[in-house]
Amino acid sequence: MTAAMHPETLTLRQPVYAQRGMVATSQPLAAQAGLAVLRDGGNAVDAAIATAAALTVVEPTSNGIGGDLFALIWKNGELHGLNASGAAPAALTHDALGGQPMPAQGWLPVTVPGAVRGWADLHARFGQLDFPRVLQGAITYAREGYPLSPVLAHNWARAARIYAARNHDFLQHWFETFLPDHFTPAAGAVWASEGHARTLERIAATNGAAFYTGDLADAIHAHAQSSGGLLHGTDLAAHQSEWVTPIHARYGGHDLWEIPPNGQGIAALIALGILDGLDLPDDPHDPAGLHTQIEAMKLGFADAHAHVADPRHADVPVERLLSREHHAHHRARLTERALDPNTPPPSTGGTVYLATADADGTMVSLIQSNYMGFGSGIVVPSTGIALHNRGHNFHADPAHPNGLRPGKRPYHTIIPGFLTRADGTPVGPLGVMGGFMQPQGHLQVTLNMLRYGMNPQAALDAPRWQWTNGFAVEVEHALPAPVARALAARGHDVRVNLDPNAFGRGQIITRDAGTGVYCGGSEPRADGLVAAY
């Protein structure tokens, strides 16, 4: 990360520097919950769990207690990976769909939630403070309430309009929980949930066991049984997280690390591997460089959509997809013209990402999601548990590697990232949330830092692009118009999207190998904050 800083990367929002501890996420109150745990003697893992739990309260528009989680943890000179995603219930078969496509809402797309087990497993292996202390900040926010931040309020109000228009019976408990009497989502409006607080207390008191084999599991099971759901108490009891070996690709003397499939992080690694054999222009806005990045990303997606699935149920050729030979093959396919990768277009989702670091050099990259906004729309009465709709990501063809099967985890969009130097020295956690924007965001912020010498904040501030399908590419309004026209001249169908939510929301923390000083950046397109001391 030695390239000269380009004038266009300068930002009014400055990076944050600190030595003792740092938490970066999309909601300031959650960042403060994590920082409080660090100040109380907790480590970066404790802070990550505290922040993640708080985010289920202070940013429920993108995650919840009933979602999934992935994490990368740098500790004691080693990078560890946790896949805390859940599988399809035993009763969720193609016959259960009745010949119809998987819906986006209701009970059918609900898979087993893995986030709570993920918190417990992270804490059991690496935690330092008592589990109830770690979750105390989240519990307090839920019980006493908190004022909504602006982006949160906007997304909440949008969900309320959408749900009101759909008027499904299963949304009744969503309205009772997230749109109670006399509450209108607006910046500064105060929301509280006693049910959410009690649920978090039960999770804290039982190290998460209540959610899978106790009273909370009973409540989830009972609600499913009474309202047509397929999720059963036996599905919850059978769920386990999986510790996995992270995968990586090299670029410019650094390695970008991702969780292996069923996550889509491999798409970013394939694109980065393709670009590692090319000399990108020095200007980050050079149309030739952006064109090449977009084309490499398309090929990464084509591979991911063809192969990414639950490796317990399908053969996912990770080693081949990350080989130099495979990347060279793709590299040879690049031309001066845009190509159509002939892969299904990405869809959208809602996710939260956080990064933490402590004085001992432990760092965490954690991502948590309900998938599409609030998820399935199913809320377990009086608990605050909003269940995700991750099953929507199963492939429609049962013969596809990602085809639906009971006990199988779907293709997952959420991906935490982590950078190291080629010699194994850690650089730090990074992530960009937002459905299928995520690998595209990982690629762009990684290049912004490694190729273009941007600090974490500038790397997040820089204008983004997003391939959507076929030849279509969306760009932010801040991308210079001549650059957009030059991309169009190469065959891209360029569209300006004025919605900042479309381009993901990221956080980055890097560590100076010599001094141990942390540098953090937080997404300008969100309410985010780098809390540090």
Annotated active-site positions, please? Answer: 351
Are the beta carbons of 22 and 522 closer than 8 angstroms? Answer: no
Is there a contact between 318 and 247 (Cβ–Cβ < 8 Å)? yes
| The two structure tokens encoding residue 70 | 């992935």
Strands 417-421 and 254-258: antiparallel
**Angle, alpha carbons 197-429-240 (nearest 5°):** 50
Residues 462 and 459: their CA atoms lie apart, in Å, by 6
Q: How far apart are CA 318 and CA 422, in angstroms?
A: 20
Q: Which residue has the tokens 């090929």?
A: 299
Conformation bin of residue 97: beta by default, left when phi > 0, alpha when psi is -120 to 50:
alpha
* CA–CA distance, 31 with 521 (Å, rounded to integer): 13
Count the Cβ atoms, other than its own, within 10 Å of residue 98.
7
Name residue 431's beta-bridge partners: 507
Would you say 433 and 88 are in contact if contact means Cβ atoms under 8 Å apart?
Answer: no
Angle at which helix 265-275 crosses helix 324-333, to 10 degrees, equals 70
Nearest-angstrom CA–CA distance, 519 and 508: 8
What's the CA gap between 132 and 126, in Å, rounded? 15
Which two structure tokens, joined as six digits, stand for 334?
A: 């690049």
Residues 6+ apart with CB under 8 A from 389: 104, 105, 109, 110, 370, 371, 372, 375, 376, 377
In this structure, what token pair is assigned to residue 434? 């937002």
